[in-house]
A and B are shown apart, each in its own frame.
Chain A
Amino acid sequence: MVLKVFFPQCCNRADSGLLVGRWISGHDSAVVLAVVHYPFIPGQVKQYVQQMKAQSGGELSVLGSWSLPKDGQEGMESFLRDLSTIFPQERWLQINRQLGKTGFTCQVLQRDQNGKVIQRETKKKVEGGDEEEEEEEEKVIFVHYEQKKVMFSQLHPLENGVPDPKTDPPSELRQMFQSVAGSAPLFFLDRYDDGPLKSTHWQSDGREASILVELLKQASVPLCMLLGWLLSIWTWISNARVFSLFPLRFLSSKLSTCVQLSHRTEHMRTLSSAKPAAGHTHFIRKANMVVSFLVDVSLGMLLIWWLYRDDHISMLANTLVPAADHVAKELEELLQWLMGAPAGLKMNRALDQVLGRFFLYHIHLWISYIHLMSPFIEGILWYGGLSACFGLTFALSLLSDMVALLTFHIYCFYVYGARLYCLKIYGLSSLWRLFRGKKWNVLRQRVDSCSYDLDQLFIGTLLFTVLLFLLPTTALYYLVFTLLRLVVVLFQGVIHLSVDFINSFPLFAVGLRLTRSHRLAEGVKFRVLCEEPGTALHLLMEINPLKCSTVVQNYRTPTYSCYPKDSWAALIKKLFVGELIYPWRHKTTKTD
């Protein structure tokens, strides 16, 4: 059997005393948490241990004794052994360290049923003596750990909720982490405290900073209340009946500014809830929200500062109308080109002319609309720019919406082209079945053969021929306008992606990982400290930090995903068939 003793590094040089810690159930290992120094009164130690046990809620006991003999403290061996009778334990660890030597020696005293003490020694068999001699040797491995890091680290993957008693008990390492983290009350005993007991363990250095934290905690309560009150007002306004009418509701679900607004509202609702965060994950999520909100607002302020400094707003407004004009002119030229013989393609002249004139008229309408709007554009931009004080994401969403509104003509062209093309494709596919004497059986979802009447065949073939010869013209218009639409969708998609990135990126968790890498642990690694033939094996336990990608994956704030719902193949198929594509987020798919 190998006995593992987890030993805190800070206790390496502690004065002699008692080891306080716990045995890990189900495993042959012990976690040492602190060393209580001489001199002490055993009754007080027992009382202290009981008190700590009650506070931490975990198991805590005196594990054994620790001796680091200094000058003039020789001959404690027998005294330490006698201590085991004062603190009756199943096993009594007796750890010695000689000054100047790196290794410890450990003796394990085992008490059998009769209450007799059996000694087993790590290195060599016990020579004689009044104790019974054990045949087998028990090896002891010392695992040194850094108490502070282990205490604050969170071992991943996380166990959520109450552990199920039916499933396997948590692993040894997890139990060890839990026992260190759970015995926080033990570490409150300061080195400067003037109590009856003195002990060595990890001690917080920054008590002063923790006062600030306490103050912040106190201040956050009224802040949360204020926020909650404001939120309730906002919810009341947004739930008003006017907003649930059909056109407004539809519009608000399509405008990314409104979506972002509802998103932020939900964040705020989570933050302002009076309940404390339940569990580590929830806490980190909340912290992520706060940090990302703060970063967002500060970026927005930066944007505002830039926009309103040198009157950039009016510059933007003055360039916007000529830009829209320019786009319209380019489109007109494109249409003229399409109405000729584009790329040497021979298209149906009559249909080409009809479509071209239709689209030209549309552009004409659009330009007059823009010119009608032009006096108001500066004002709209001025007030719209103010929305950046809610955060950069709002400004970006507003930009996306404005792009959508300014390229409305492209959208219209795209819809007309797509509908026409879709009609042709569906008509052709069903007429092709008629052409071959088949039909689509809806009930069985397959193609069946069918005998048509003469007139059906005649009209079907006539339509088939017409559609087939007109298809290239429609397909070319569809192709050109789809490409234009894709450019707009791509632009909006990039904006949505960046907004989503700001919303959901776990800044706090990543910062934690970068600055305090031990806080998010994925596992541990051991390094051999000293392995002398005479002494026990000493290992140093170091914490493996969680991988950055895993951090991002675990702690991403759940958002309404704006990633394209379909894969690339599905998108291409949609484009080929002529179904409409949208950059809008789909509210139903909330991805965690």
Chain B
Amino acid sequence: MGPDGVPGPAVPWRKVLWECQAFPDNYVDQRFLEELRRNEGIRQYRYWAVVREAGFVGEQLSCVAIFITLWLYMEQSLLFPETLLWTSLVCALLGYGLHRALPAPVESGCEPRTRLADLQSAAIFLSFTFGFSPVLKTLTESVSTDTVYAMSAVMLLAHLVSFPYAQPSPPGSFSLNAALFASVCLASRLPGALHTFAMLTCALLVFALWPCLLQRLRGSAPSQFAGVCVGVCVAGVAGLGSQWPGGAVLLALALGSVTLLCPLLLVRLQRHKDNIQGPWDEAEIHEDLGHFGH
């Protein structure tokens, strides 16, 4: 029985257009809904797998927190720039060794970087940062402190939002640039040129090199990766807690909601998903309606 209530004649209806049939054009029979499919290609998430993935988001959040903690220490002169520089150097060397030791993911058409290129990059980083640090020091002198803080906060948020969590190596241009801009802004508030230099080197380690290492770690040793994430999160909370306990509580809450609560919600809400597909044309709205006017 069709939608118009036409009584079915003896000839059965066929879903063809090239024959002249005694049915109205919009006629369909009972078989119409047989081809209905629900939730095609759905992925059933398991809670702990999602938590493991979300841990990376929390880890990046903690990285930002660690950076801010270091800056707070530097601003109050609790941490000397020399100490930070030496620590950074040791960390960088350790990280570089680890990076070299870990097996590189197989990439086609892209030859691995040589040690010379790495050395060159490092020289460029260090020389430019060192050369620019006096300029950067006086750069925001006349800009008010609130403005600098607001700009840094916005930029760090932009870094977190635009960070390519699925493919963190190499880090996305915008997220890295935003983080560097924020760190330049913050570093220019520090008391001396060497402070600025140390802070920028640290920012480079945290925002540019660390994600590269982490990505390689994730590719080769997933179990250690989870451990590193947890470690970074704990370090971030602890570090922030030593300077600003309220902030540490907030960070812990944020980490908990991101890594535990949100995956839970995702898995729970997955049950209510109802996506239907069938032999009909879905209505598509084209944005350019201009050609209908003619």
Contact = CB atoms under 8 A, between A and B. Distances in A.
Interface of A: 346-350, 434-437, 451-455, 457-462, 464-466, 469-470
B121 A455 contact: yes
B270 interface: no
A466 B142 CA distance: 14
Interface stretch (B73-81, B94-102, B167-175): B167-175
Interface stretch (B85-93, B130-138, B277-285): B130-138
A346 B174 CA distance: 29
Contact of B136 (A349, A464, A465): A465
A454 B139 contact: no
B139 A348 contact: yes
B141 A349 contact: yes
A470 B172 CA distance: 27
| A interface SS class | helix
Contacts of B172: 437
Contacts of A455: 121, 124-125
Given A462-B132, A465-B136, A469-B139, A451 B173 contact: yes
Contacts of A464: 177, 181
A451 B208 CA distance: 14
Given A459-B128, A462-B180, A465-B181, A437 B173 contact: yes
B181 A461 contact: yes
A422 B189 CA distance: 29
Nearest to A438: B173
Nearest to B180: A461
A291 to B, nearest CB: 58
A466 B136 contact: yes
Contact of B138 (A348, A453, A461, A462): A348
A473 to B, nearest CB: 9
B128 A437 contact: no
15 contacts: A349-B141, A349-B142, A435-B173, A435-B174, A435-B177, A457-B176, A457-B177, A458-B204, A458-B208, A462-B128, A462-B129, A462-B180, A464-B181, A465-B180, A469-B140
B143 interface: yes
A348 B181 contact: no
B108 to A, nearest CB: 16
B142 A436 contact: no
Contacts of A469: 139-140, 143
Contact of A458 (B125, B140, B141, B185): B125
A458 B128 contact: yes
B138 A454 contact: no
A93 B132 CA distance: 104
A466 B121 contact: no
A409 B184 CA distance: 38
Interface residues of B, number: 28
A434 B178 CA distance: 11
Contacts of A457: 173, 176-177, 180, 208
B180 A348 contact: no
Interface in B150-199: 170-174, 176-177, 180-181, 184-185
Contacts of A461: 176-177, 180-181, 184
B173 A459 contact: no
A350 to B, nearest CB: 5
B135 A466 contact: yes
A461 to B, nearest CB: 4
A435 B178 CA distance: 8
A465 B137 CA distance: 12
Given A457-B177, A462-B136, A466-B136, 10 more contacts: A348-B138, A434-B173, A437-B174, A453-B121, A453-B170, A454-B176, A457-B176, A461-B180, A462-B132, A469-B143
Contacts of A436: 173-174, 177
Contact of A466 (B139, B173, B176, B204): B139
A459 B141 contact: no
Choose among B139, B173, B181 the residue with the greatest number of A CB atoms under 10 Å from its CB: B173
Contacts of A470: 139
A353 to B, nearest CB: 11
A451 B172 CA distance: 8
A181 B46 CA distance: 105
Contact of A465 (B144, B170, B176, B185): B185
Nearest to B135: A466
Choose among A350, A436, A454, A465 the residue with the greatest number of B CB atoms under 10 Å from its CB: A465
A462 B184 contact: yes
A465 B155 CA distance: 12
A349 to B, nearest CB: 6
A115 B234 CA distance: 128
B143 A346 contact: yes
A379 B143 CA distance: 54
Choose among B139, B142, B144, B177 the residue with the greatest number of A CB atoms under 10 Å from its CB: B177
B44 to A, nearest CB: 34
Contacts of A452: 173
Choose among A348, A452, A460, A470 the residue with the greatest number of B CB atoms under 10 Å from its CB: A348
Contacts of B125: 455, 458
B142 A465 contact: no
A19 to B, nearest CB: 64
B260 to A, nearest CB: 33
Contact of B132 (A346, A347, A460, A466): A466
Contacts of A451: 170, 173
Nearest to B185: A465
Nearest to B170: A454
Given A461-B181, A462-B180, A469-B139, A454 B208 contact: yes
A592 B249 CA distance: 79
B184 A347 contact: no
Nearest to B147: A346
Contacts of B173: 434-437, 451-452, 457
A454 B172 CA distance: 10
Contact of B141 (A348, A435, A462): A348
Contacts of A435: 173-174, 177, 181
Nearest to B141: A349
Contacts of B139: 348, 465-466, 469-470
B142 A350 contact: no
A436 B162 CA distance: 11
Contacts of B124: 455, 458-459
A321 to B, nearest CB: 39
B180 to A, nearest CB: 4
A436 B132 CA distance: 22
A85 B121 CA distance: 115
A460 B136 CA distance: 14
Contacts of A465: 136, 139, 180-181, 184-185
Contacts of B141: 348-349
A315 to B, nearest CB: 48
A199 to B, nearest CB: 70
Contacts of A349: 138, 141-142
A476 to B, nearest CB: 12
A563 to B, nearest CB: 39
B172 to A, nearest CB: 7
Contacts of A434: 173, 177
B127 to A, nearest CB: 10
Contacts of B135: 466
A466 B131 CA distance: 13
The 8 A-B pairs of least Cβ separation, nearest first, read A437-B173, A346-B142, A461-B180, A465-B184, A435-B177, A469-B139, A461-B177, A455-B121
